[in-house]
């Protein structure tokens, strides 16, 4: 199959040149190209489709590296002991970590978090991302991070804070500053 199919007709032609038993791997449910008889697949009312409808269908990907997740959920930090363990693991692995100090009531924090999770997917193997809700953790942890404004994004390496970005302005600017901060230390 062509890596780049500029035209749906090419994709249709290449799919229908396959054996019928290979076609079911292309179905991923109601939104698939085989869901309706529209010239691009099987009719659900046909006997050929009814036998396959009862099976478990999974989307088949030929290029898994192209289908990496768009976002990675940041792991929450709950207390000082957990923070110490994370810093020690990062020190042993010689990888920096990024900590997002945020609050559940902070509108900018809430808006920034999904963008940071998207950035975390870009640096999946190089940097680990964590978040701390300052209202749900002990105050000594917040004092240890020396947090006075939110959101504050800090990069920690070798057990100490190396750089920080205070995100009081537009989210895309904050993300660019965080990206530059990560690139300095990775």
CA atoms within 13 A on the CB side of 140: 6
Q: Which of 72, 74, 106, 178 is catalytic?
A: 106
Say whether 106 is catalytic: yes
Running DSSP on this structure, what letter comes out for residue 73? P
Question: What pairs with residue 132 in β-bridges?
Answer: 101
* Chain centroid, CA 101 distance in Å: 19
* Chain centroid, CA 97 distance in Å: 16
Angle between helix axes 171-185 and 107-122 (nearest 10 degrees) is 40
Say whether 109 is catalytic: yes
Q: Strands, E, within the chain: which ranges?
A: 75-76, 97-102, 128-133, 152-157, 160-166
Q: Which of 90, 97, 98, 109 is catalytic?
A: 109
Tokens linked to 16: 């229908």
The catalytic residue positions are 106, 109
């Amino acid at each position: 199959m062509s890596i780049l199919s500029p035209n749906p007709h090419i994709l249709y032609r290449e799919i229908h040149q396959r054996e019928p038993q290979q076609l079911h791997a292309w179905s991923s449910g109601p939104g698939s190209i085989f869901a309706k008889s529209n010239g691009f697949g099987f009719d659900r009312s046909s006997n050929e489709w009814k036998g396959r409808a009862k099976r478990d269908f999974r989307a088949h990907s030929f290029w898994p590296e192209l289908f990496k997740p768009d976002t990675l959920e940041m792991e929450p930090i709950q207390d000082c002991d957990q923070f110490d363990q994370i810093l020690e693991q990062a020190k042993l692995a010689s990888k920096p970590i990024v900590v997002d100090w945020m609050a559940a009531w902070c509108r900018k924090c809430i808006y920034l978090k999904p963008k940071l999770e998207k950035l975390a997917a870009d640096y999946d193997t190089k940097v680990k991302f964590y978040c701390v809700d300052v209202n749900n953790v002990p105050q000594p942890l917040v004092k240890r991070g020396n947090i006075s404004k939110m959101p504050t994004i800090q990069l920690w390496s070798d057990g100490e804070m190396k750089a920080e970005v205070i995100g009081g302005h537009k989210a895309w600017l904050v993300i660019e500053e965080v990206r530059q901060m990560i690139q300095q230390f990775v």
